[in-house]
Amino acid sequence: MVSEKPGISKDRIWIDGCFDFAHHGHAGAMLQARQLGNSLYVGVHSDEEILENKGPVVMTLPERVLAVEACKWATKAVPGAPYVTDPAVMDEWGCFYVVHGDDITTDANGEDCYRVVKEAGRFLIVKRTPNISTTDLVGRMLLCTKNHHIQTVKDASKEAGLITRQNLDKFNTYATSEDGRSARDGVYIYAGDSLPATLIKPDEGFMKKQRKMIYVDGGFDLFFAGHIEFLRLVSEASKSIANDLGEEVGIVVGIHDDATVNKFKGLNYPIMNLFERALCVLQCKYVSHIVLQAPYSPSKQFIESLPWDIIRVMHGPTDFTASAMTDPYSEAKALGLYLEIANHQYSSISTETIVERVTRNRGVYEERQRRKGWKAEVESKLLQAESQ
């Protein structure tokens, strides 16, 4: 039995990784890790160490740290954590256990990155989220595939497409509060009916506590730093409004379906399907509830159909006149609800920007994909040997 050192607690959990793209697999690992303790410290590898051991990153270290800090189950992000997990670094943050998925990650030499902590008896395993990874997303960009898209739900009472028991279980898990255990957030779906249908019922106390809401919407594809910083600024605005009103103000996020995003973006957008994008938004600490398949234009009828008092509709600056598009927020503006969030340090980044980072260096990322295949073989052999 391994004993704890003074100042180190088994309730303080460590997890580390690249966290390139804020996808729901990363969030799922942090959720499971958080459920094993009372606080979660997340080590984020440097761009240089990832390049040496895995290949080039798509998101920079500041962007990846911002995404980790925005996860509601993370206590703190620790930039520059070593690629091979070091117990001494875990000790600095008072963490006894490190958590990782039920696969094996290797360094540039093909050795298990967790070999030292495993030998020390300080390693815990959680279930790896299947069918999503940074490698998968890069592959979608390079191959320009669309078979990941999900058909729009026309009848929310039927179990099909987006609405499956497995997906609902996942939504229910991601709708938990900061402790990763207790219910909190609501998940709704708009299928063109007069009222959005409830998929995951929110906690009643939380619902009563936040009756007034700010509504924001979008595609939130690849859920990158621009999205996260925007939501953070909306959260700051909600706190200011709450102070004036003397009551809490939450944020409900409408997420467009795959067909709507593809209509306006073309090609194989969205890179993440609605289910994947919804989980990314739901894990964000700035968000109270989500509405799936939200209409591109939040009409007066739609706003009034929502089960809250919508006191603001917010969006980033967009010149719809210059782009020859009809302003989707015209009715919100006519109602006096619209408020624009000013540009911020990540405003210049878009989903297209992220994809362009990959396609501009296509050869480098194709080599990364090949290298991942070689590493997968090595990691599979290590996993087999470890299980024997």
What residue segments make up the domains of the chain, in order of their start? 9-139+363-387, 150-347
**Does the structure show a pLDDT above 80 at 380?**
no
**45 and 302 Cβ atoms separated by less than 8 Å:** no
Residues paired with residue 40 on neighbouring β-strands, in sequence order: 13
Strand partners, 42: 15, 77
Report residue 134 as tokens.
Answer: 């940074």
Mean pLDDT of 229-240: 97
pLDDT: which is higher, 134 or 388: 134
9-139+363-387 matches 150-347 in fold: yes
Please list the alpha-helical segments (H only) found in the chain.
24-34, 47-53, 61-70, 87-92, 115-119, 134-143, 165-174, 204-209, 225-245, 258-265, 274-282, 300-305, 330-334, 351-360, 362-387
Whole-angstrom Cα distance, residue 190 to residue 178? 26
Average pLDDT over residues 7-12: 92
Residue 377 has pLDDT above 50, yes or no: no
Largest CA distance in the chain: 68
Topology annotation, domain 150-347: Rossmann fold (3.40.50)
Distance CA 204, CA 355 (A): 40
Counting beta carbons within 10 angstroms of the beta carbon of residue 177, is it exposed (0 to 12), middle (13 to 18) or buried (19 or more)?
A: middle
What is the chain's Cα-based Rg? Answer: 21
Bigger pLDDT: 217 vs 140 = 217
The H-or-E segment that residue 16 falls in is strand 9-17
Statement: residue 387 has pLDDT above 60: no
Backbone angles phi, psi at 340, to 5 degrees: -95, 135
- The two structure tokens encoding residue 128: 């790896």
Q: Report d(CA 185, CA 201) in Å as an integer.
A: 7
* Token code pair at residue 68: 């980790």
DSSP, collapsed to helix, strand or coil, labels residue 172 as helix
Does the model's pTM come out above 0.75? yes
Mean per-residue pLDDT of the chain: 89
**Is residue 271 a contact partner of residue 149, using CB atoms and an 8 Å limit?**
no
Give CA angle at 41 (35, 43), nearest 5°: 125
Between residues 99 and 129, the one the model is more confident about: 99
The answer on pLDDT for 322 being more than 60 is: no
Summarised one tens digit per residue, pLDDT across range 79-111 is 999 999 999 999 999 999 999 988 778 888 888
Q: Cα(43)–Cα(19) distance, rounded to whole angstroms?
A: 9
For residue 102, the 8-state DSSP code is: S
Q: At what angle do helices 225-245 and 61-70 cross, to 10 degrees?
A: 40
Determine the average pLDDT of the residues in 177-205: 94
The strand pairing partners of 227, in sequence order, are: none
Beta bridge partners of 373: none
CATH code of the region 9-139+363-387: 3.40.50.620
For 138-162, the pLDDT digits (tens) are 888 888 889 999 999 999 888 888 9
Strands (E), 303-349: 309-315, 338-340
